[in-house]
Amino acid sequence: MSGLLFLVRRLGQALLTLLGVILLVFVLFNWVGGDPALILAGKMASAQDLANVRHQLGLDRPLWQQFLDFVGQVLRGDYGESWATHEPVSAIFRSRLGPSLTLLIPMLVLETLVAIAVALLVAALRGSWLDQGVRMVSTVAMSISLLVYIIVGQYVFAYLWGWFPVKGWGDSVLTNLRIYALLPVLLGLFVSVAPSIRLYRSFILEEIDQDFVRTARAKGLSEVRILFVHVLRNAAIPIVTNILMGLPGLLTGAFLLERFFAIPGIGREIILAVERSDFPLIKAITVYVAMATLAVNLLGDLCYRWLDPRVRLE
C-alpha cells in the first residue's frame, strides 16, 4: 500500500468514527439527557414559559432536524453558545484548554522523564533488590485512590505545612506553573508515574533481549552507551505511542484535581455541563476530544510507519 493511499484510507476511517461519535453523543444526550428548559426557565416557570424556552433552543423540532443542525455545527466548527451561560462554546473551550494543559504538560513531561529514568535503572538491574523494591513501591502507590492523595495532600502539604497554596489559579502561565499547579501536578504524578514505570520497564526489557544489544556488547561498547543510545532509541517508539495515546484522555481525566484545587479546566467544565444539561458544551467537548484522539491515533500510525517500515497495519 502506498503512503498516500494509506493516509487517505486512515483519514476516511477517522471521519467515519467521528460521525459515529457525533451520532452516539447526540442520541445519548438529546434523547436521554435532562431537559435544560427546566433550569433555564427558573423556579416559578409556567408550562408556557417552558415551551417558550424549548422553542427558542430548538428542542421542539424533530430529532433528525436537530441532528442535521449538529452535524452542520461540527462542520462549521461553531457550536453556538452555552445554554447555561450564553458564552460561545468555542470561547469556553479555548479558555479551559490553557489551565488543563498547564496542569497536564508538566505532569506528562515529569512523568515521562521520571518513568524512563527509573525504568532504565531497574531494567539494567533486572531482578535486583532495587528492581523488586521499585516494583513494590510503585504497585502500592498506584493502588491508593487519587481521591485519597488529594484529600490528604491538600490537608497536609498545603494547609498544615503550608508548602503550597490550598487552591487557586492566576492569569500568567508562569505564576500558575510556579505556584498553583505544583501540588496538583505532584499528586497527579504520584498516581500516574507508577504504571508508566512498569510499562516502560517492559518495553526496555524487550529491547535488551534483542540481538543487536548482544552485538553491541560483543563490540565492547559501554553498558551505559548501549542502554541510553541503542536500547532507548528502540524503546522510544512504543513509549512515544503510549504518551500520545494517553494525551486526549488526560485532558478530561484530571477533573478531580481541577475540582479540589479550583482550576478552571476542561474536566471540571464537563461535570458542570452535565449537571446543567448544557448540551452545546457537552457536544462540543466530546467532538473536540474525539477529534484530538483520532488525530493522535492517526499521527501515531504515521509515525509508526515512518519509523518502522516493517509495520503493516491490517
Partner 1 sequence: MKVRRAWVLWLALWMFPLQAQEKVLHVAFSASETGFDPVQTSDLNTAAVEQQLFESLLTYDYLARPAKLVPRLAAALPSVSGQGRIWTFTLKKGVYFAPDPVFQGRKREVTATDVVYTLMRFMDPKNRSPYKFLLEGKIEGLDERADRARVTGHFDYDTPVAGLTVLDPWHVRVHLKTTDYDFGHAMAQPIMGIVAREVIEAYAGDTASHPVGTGPYRLGQWLRSARIELIRNPNYRSEVWHFSPGKDPENQRLVAQMEGKTLPQIDRIDIQIIEEAQSAWLSFGKGELDILGLPAQFSPLALSGDQLRPEWVRRGIHLDRIVEPAIAYYFINQQDPLLGGMTPARIALRRAIFLAMNDGEMMRVIDKGQAIRTAYPIPPGVAGADAQYQSLLNYDPELANQLLDAYGYRRDRTGYRLQPDGKPLEVQYTTGLSSQDRELDEVMKKSLDRIGLRFSSNKLKFPDIIRAERQCQVQFRLSAWIADYPDGDNFMQLWYGPHTHENNASCYQDPEWDRLYEQTLVLPDSPRRDALYHRLARRLELYGVTKVSTSALRNVLSQPWVLGYRAHPILPSVWNYLDVEERHDATP
Partner 2 sequence: MTQIYSSRRSENAWSLALRRLWRDPVGRFSLGVVMCYLVLVGMVLAGWLGARWNDPVAVNYAPPTWCASVANRVTLPAGEAWDRSSVIPLYGWTDPLEPLWSEARAAAQRIQPEPVSYRLTLLFGADKWGRDVGQKVLKGTQTSVWVGLVAAFVATFIGTVLGALAGYYGRWVDDLLNGFYGVLTSIPYLLLVFAVAAVFQQKGVGTLILILGLTGWTGVFRLVRAEYLKHRTREYVLAAGALGASHGRRVWVHILPNVSHVILVQFSQNLVGFIKSEVILSFLGFGVPVSSVSWGSMLNEAQNELILGKWWQLGVTTVAMAIFVTALSLLTDALRDALDPRLNS
Chain residues that interact with partner 1, rule: CB under 8 A:
34-36, 38-47, 49, 52-53, 56, 84-87, 92, 95, 99, 151, 154-155, 158-159, 161-169, 171, 175, 178-179, 259-264, 268-269, 272, 274-277
Per-residue interface string for the shown chain with partner 2, residues 196-235, x marking contact by CB under 8 A:
--x-------------------------------------
SS (H, E, C) 206-247: HHHCCHHHHHHHHCCCCHHHHHHHHHHHHHHHHHHHHHHHHH
Piece of the chain touching partner 2 by CB under 8 A; list 59-67, 104-112, 116-124, 285-293: 285-293
CA distance 233 to 239: 10
Lookup: cell for 211: 540481538
CA distance 238 to 232: 10
Is residue 286 close enough to count as binding partner 2 by CB under 8 A? Answer: yes
CA distance 174 to 178: 6
Which of residues 2 and 46 has its CB atom nearest to partner 1 in the complex? 46
CA distance 191 to 147: 10
Q: Which of partner 2, partner 1, none binds 45 (CB below 5-8 Å, type-dependent)?
A: partner 1
CB of 61 to partner 1, least distance (A): 17
CA distance 107 to 112: 8
CB of 170 to partner 2, least distance (A): 25
Q: Which of partner 1, partner 2, none binds 49 (CB below 5-8 Å, type-dependent)?
A: partner 1
Across-strand partners of 88? 81
Which amino acid makes up residue 204?
A: I
Residue with cell 476542561: 266
Instruction: Return residues touching partner 2 (CB under 8 A).
Output: 13, 16-18, 20-21, 24-25, 28-29, 32-34, 132, 135, 139-140, 142-148, 151-152, 155, 198, 248-249, 251-253, 255-256, 267, 270-271, 274, 282, 285-286, 289-290, 293-294, 314
